[in-house]
Amino acid sequence: MARLFVAATPPAEVIEAIGVAVALARPTAPALRWVDLARSHLTLAFLGSVEDALRAELTERLGRVARRHPPVDAVLAGVGRFGDRVLWAGVDGDLAPLAAGIRRAAQRSGVADLDPRPLRAHLTLAYARPSTEPVDLRAVMAALGELPPLAWTVDRFDLVSSVLGPQPVYAVESSWSLTGS
């Protein structure tokens, strides 16, 4: 059994621009656990724990999704938060149909632990440590300032396994180019 998610990786120039903003904001929030931007990804669907026996069908169905969907234009779109625990950089673009196709493929493959929440396209920047008092993320958002509206094309997605720990370990299991029209 593996903990899996499907994600797209933004290009280096997007990560570099976020890195500049994070470098300015990081000293204002030492209580946050900042993510390693080198591992940044845009989660399209969190699949949870997936039985090994389902992997072949899941892989086949995800390949079909990639063949049906064209590349999608995306743009970095400000910063936001989920409550007082997660700080993120927003991503705009018509990613919902692709994410829905990925979710359907996972469901039809028998994936039972699928995250039911709708897509909120974002790149996670930092987490509040569970052992600390809540951090006022609005102040950190102000320190981050406006991110440049960098555009890119989401032209592929990956099936990624993750092992949780102090620093999560991610491994790309399979990749597909978006080739639909």
Query: What is the secondary structure of 82-104 as a DSSP string?
Result: ETTTEEEEEEEES-HHHHHHHHH
Instruction: Mark 83-97 as b/e (b = at least 16 C-beta within 10 Å).
Output: eeebbbbebebebee
Give me the pLDDT at residue 113, please: 85
Report yes or no on whether pTM surpasses 0.85. yes
The structural domains of the chain, ordered by start, are 2-177 (3.90.1140.10)
Residues in the chain: 181
* 22 and 36 Cβ atoms separated by less than 8 Å: no
Q: Which residues are catalytic?
A: 41, 122
Q: How far apart are CA 133 and CA 153, in angstroms?
A: 38
Percentage of the chain with pLDDT > 90?
Answer: 80
CA distances 131 to 82, 141, 158, Å, are 17, 21, 33
Check pLDDT > 80 for residue 131.
no
Amino acid 9 reads T
Answer for the pair 88, 81: CB distance below 8 angstroms, yes or no.
yes
Per residue in 48-95, pLDDT (tens digit) is 999 999 999 999 999 999 999 999 999 999 999 998 889 999 999 999
Question: Rounded distance, CA 52 to CA 110, Å?
Answer: 11
Mean residue pLDDT of the chain comes to 94
pLDDT at 117: 86
Q: What integer pLDDT is reported at residue 145 of this predicted model?
A: 87
Predicted pLDDT at 75? 98
Beta strands 151-154 and 156-163: pairing type?
A: unpaired
pLDDT given at position 74 = 98
Rounded Cα–Cα distance for residues 29 and 36 (Å): 16
Assign residue 91 a region: left if phi > 0, alpha if psi is -120 to 50, beta otherwise?
Answer: beta
Average pLDDT over residues 109-136: 88
Q: Rounded distance, CA 172 to CA 88, Å?
A: 22
